[in-house]
Amino acid sequence: MNQRGETSRFSWLEISTREVKVAPGQAQREAGQHLTEAEKNYYEGFYEQALRSYARALQYDRGLVAAWAGQVKCLLAMEELEEAETWVNNALSFHPKAADLLALKAVVMAEQGQLEKALAYSDESFNYESHSGYPWLARVDVLLWLRREKTARLCLERVVNEACQDWQLLMETGRLYLKHNRASQAVYFLNKAVVLHPESAYLWYLLARGYQKLHLRSRAKFCCQEALKIRPSFPEAQEMLNELQVRPCFVAGACLGSEQAPEVAILRNWRDKYLLRSGWGRAVVMIYNQIGPHLAWLVSKQACLQRTGRNIVIWWARQVHKKNFLSGRDDDG
């Protein structure tokens, strides 16, 4: 049940985390095997499978703080914020002095906009020992919500330095910056991670997302292709690759936040079926293709430009649609 008394899609977690009584040696082996499987799934982006394996590990060993923390991380990655809060509270009822769990509570509070509480939980997490370095990543997360970029960077240097060889830590750092729309920083860390662990399809996909946000389409396309080589059945990577193979509307896509927006489709169709049929139109498109990525990058960095551009793109698309309608043609005509 969730906080409103409704049945949750994760109600099975309450059942699967009930303790199983077996011999101590067997319990340790079973817990270790399930924890290993959970970690593998988590770092490949299979969050629901990882969640189930973390829960199975806890059936055999309630003392596994890493499994409790893993559950909350999965729920956060799945954007199940209410469930994440429920389960971090459950975890803290068993382990009130676990640094990683206090750090996760800070992240949950920050996601909810309770930044003062988030900072307090983050402070508390440093009163206890952690072998994972996660409290520092959580601190960076909270500081980014507070827009304290410089302090966040200093905290990050405590766990991730130039010589860092931990691809999982680098990947988590990249994911964190992606979440906060810091694509340049995300790409920096994800590139380092993929050099250390090129066998991860999910890592290539995350890197593709970073390049896509930077409007570096050819690099994003290459990363999607690498991900699909490793994991041919990867719907998210295939969807992104399909999107990248469509001739782009750089600025319109940046203004609206997605090249799949209906207004972008209208303008793309207008370009392909009107502008490209004349010499002057082809010249305009050629110039646009040269400067469009730079304009798109600028728009994505400035919220005021994005808002203004969004209004202009929507107005423009309506005019194009209206013109097509009045002339007796639809957008595909």
- Return the structure tokens found at 266: 């209208």
Identity of the residue numbered 330: D
Residue 2 pLDDT grade (very low, low, confident, very high; cuts 50, 70, 90): very low
Residue 328 pLDDT grade (very low, low, confident, very high; cuts 50, 70, 90): very low
7-33 residue pLDDT tens: 566 665 665 556 666 676 788 899 999
269-313 residue pLDDT tens: 888 788 878 888 888 878 877 787 778 778 777 778 888 888 888
Write the burial class of residue 245 (CB in 10 Å: 0-12 exposed, 13-18 middle, 19+ buried): exposed
Residues 262 and 239 in one domain: no
In the numeric block, the tokens 């509307």 are attached to 249
- Return the structure tokens found at 256: 């609206």
Whether the Cβ atoms of residue 197 and residue 43 lie closer than 8 Å to each other: no
Question: Any idea what the CATH number is for the domain that residue 190 is in?
Answer: 1.25.40.10
> Above 80 in pLDDT, residue 112?
yes
**Average pLDDT score over residue span 205-222:** 90
The whole-number pLDDT of residue 10 equals: 67
Residues 231 and 264 in one domain: no
> Above 90 in pLDDT, residue 244?
no
**Average pLDDT score over residue span 228-232:** 97
Residue 235 belongs to some domain of the structure = yes
What is 277-299 written as a DSSP string? GSHHHHHHHHHHHHHHHHHHHHH
Residues 239 and 259 in one domain: no
Residue range of the domain that includes 315: 252-326
Residue 56 belongs to some domain of the structure = no
135-155 residue pLDDT tens: 999 999 999 999 999 999 999
> Above 70 in pLDDT, residue 86?
yes
Of 245, 279, 310, the position where a domain reaches its end is 245
In the numeric block, the tokens 């890493």 are attached to 66
Residue 60 belongs to some domain of the structure = no
Whether the Cβ atoms of residue 234 and residue 263 lie closer than 8 Å to each other: no
> Above 90 in pLDDT, residue 125?
yes
Which is it for the CA torsion 122, 53, 234, 226, positive or negative?
positive
Mean pLDDT over each residue of the chain, to the nearest integer:
87
**Average pLDDT score over residue span 250-257:** 76
Residue 168 belongs to some domain of the structure = yes
CA 197 – CA 171 distance, rounded (Å): 10
Half-sphere exposure of 1 (CA within 13 A, CB side): 4
CA 101 – CA 130 distance, rounded (Å): 10
The whole-number pLDDT of residue 8 equals: 61
Residue 324 pLDDT grade (very low, low, confident, very high; cuts 50, 70, 90): low
CA 156 – CA 133 distance, rounded (Å): 10
> Above 90 in pLDDT, residue 92?
yes
> Above 70 in pLDDT, residue 248?
no
How much is the pTM? 0.75
Give the dihedral of Cα atoms 20, 22, 27, 31; nearest 10 deg.
-30
> How many domains does the structure of the chain reveal?
2
> Above 80 in pLDDT, residue 158?
yes
Residues 268 and 232 in one domain: no
> Above 50 in pLDDT, residue 329?
no
- Return the structure tokens found at 190: 């994800």
> Above 80 in pLDDT, residue 47?
yes
Of 245, 275, 291, the position where a domain reaches its end is 245
Residues 236 and 168 in one domain: yes
> Above 60 in pLDDT, residue 49?
yes
Residues 256 and 210 in one domain: no
The whole-number pLDDT of residue 224 equals: 97
Residues 256 and 221 in one domain: no
- Out of 107-111, 196-200, 304-308, 321-325, which region has the weakest mean confidence (pLDDT)? 321-325
Of 198, 228, 245, the position where a domain reaches its end is 245
